[in-house]
Amino acid sequence: MARRPSTRQSIRKAAQSKAAATETKTTTSAADAKVDVKVDVIKTKASKRKTAAAEPDLDGEDIENTSPAEDANSRESQETKKKPAAKKRKTANTTTANTAKEEAEGITMPLAPRTAVASLKRAMYIGAHVSGAGGVHNSIQNAVHIGANAFALFLKSQRKWVNPPLADEAKTQFRALLGEHGYDAGKHILPHGPYLVNLAQPDEAKAAQAYGSFLDDLQRCEALGIALYNFHPGSTGGEPMASACARIAAQLNRAHAATSSVVTLLENMCGSGNVVGSRFEDLRDIIALVDDKSRVGVCIDTCHAFAAGYDLRTPDAFARTMAEFDSVVGLRYLRALHLNDSKAPFGSHRDLHANIGTGFLGLRAFHNIMNHELLQGLPMVLETPIEEKGPDGKTVENKQIWADEIKLLESLIGMDVESAEFRDKEAELQARGASERQKIQDQVDKKAEKDARKGAKRGPKAKGKGKGNKKDEDSYTESD
């Protein structure tokens, strides 16, 4: 999947890190989007969570596109302040009489069973970006909790430059739980890089800081036996794109030389501001300058691709986009996907993740993906919204949404798009997201009208002369 200002802001940043002011958005729940799928399941037993004392509290857990509100210097000064005790995150999964006891004992009861991938018509490994708070080993229990066969996580706080080292106890428990639950760390676990890191940074001191954090993550991957690592390429900071791509490749070459095995995956972006990676050509140009081609690849985010102008909605459009990727980059470099619908319309360059089937991409786009033979075996990670209002009016996370979306995506494998089952589900999900799509469409239309008026006043000579936003230079995540 993708942890957004962009689509979604972290719910507990103020309580845990005071690293950024956030705005919590209410997202329409997809919890009732359940589908009945007859599949073999992997039985899992409830087990207690163990917390490694030396492991950092990860304050950014399920968010793909969070963008810090202040610059790096402000962040660093805030990090020196004493953090308050982390508050326990509320969830909407309190349906049994034993819930209080289970929570007290740290027991996680699965919201849905894991599907045996061998029982599917195509080997699709689907999951979500889960929390690793309290220790990276907890990410495995969180993945089991939603019935995931793949998952992403942050290996450390994605809001801080300095983090404690990976605890030995966490490494031991991580490897033990991998074996217990049958996850392949070499294929289906996809850590996400911190949003602070910009490998295209031209400033020498800031570039060194970014590289240090990046290398630390790769070393954590190798300590855990993880083979894939996904990250946002970076921002040009207003400088030429070619120069930015060259700096990213140079940093990758350094990191590859300092490590032995992790494959670094460039994520495609939506095309806002000075962000690198919105065009397949950007990814191609970076890869061309990487010395060890076996250590680099691409993770395609469906929302980003759609917002950047790559269509996936019909079989023909999907085939054209995949053919273009193959021609420009090469399908051999495609190693993972983030599965997100889009609240924003095609080519809008706005990064607003929507629940599967409720956005402008629609259910048919995901049917195209789930039935594409060449995507078998790749980790597919949901970064869709799971926040909703609880009975007390407070925002809570409903992990059942991810559990249901995993089953929904699995059900699309081999499904007839002309069947009543598909058409009814497609119509239901589109109706659920209609108001949000209209709201964002209105915003996009108003901005287009405003830009057109500005362009008319400036005249043709002034167009395209402006430099990028200053905020892109240090923190480059795409914003609206």
β partners of residue 337: 300, 380
Tokens of 356: 């599967």
First to last CA, the chain: 19
Kind plus residue range of the DSSP H or E element containing 341: strand 341-342
- d(Cα 189, Cα 129) in Å, to the nearest integer? 10
- Alpha carbon of residue 395 to chain centroid: 20
Q: What is the DSSP letter of 274?
A: T
- d(Cα 30, Cα 146) in Å, to the nearest integer? 14
Torsion of CA 249, 255, 257, 263, to 10 degrees: -80
Do residues 54 and 111 make contact, with C-beta atoms less than 8 angstroms apart? no
String of DSSP letters for 72-124: HHHHHHHHTSPPPPPPPPPBS---STTHHHHHHHTB---SSPEE-GGGSSS--
Q: What's the order of all strands across the beta sheet hosting 334-339?
A: 150-152, 125-129, 379-382, 334-339, 296-301, 263-267, 228-231
Angle 234-248-215 from CA coordinates, rounded to 5°: 90
- d(Cα 402, Cα 225) in Å, to the nearest integer? 26
Catalytic machinery residues:
159, 192, 195, 232, 267, 301, 304, 338, 351, 353, 383
- d(Cα 170, Cα 449) in Å, to the nearest integer? 53
- d(Cα 308, Cα 350) in Å, to the nearest integer? 8
Cβ-Cβ contacts under 8 Å for 456 (sequence gap 6 or more): none
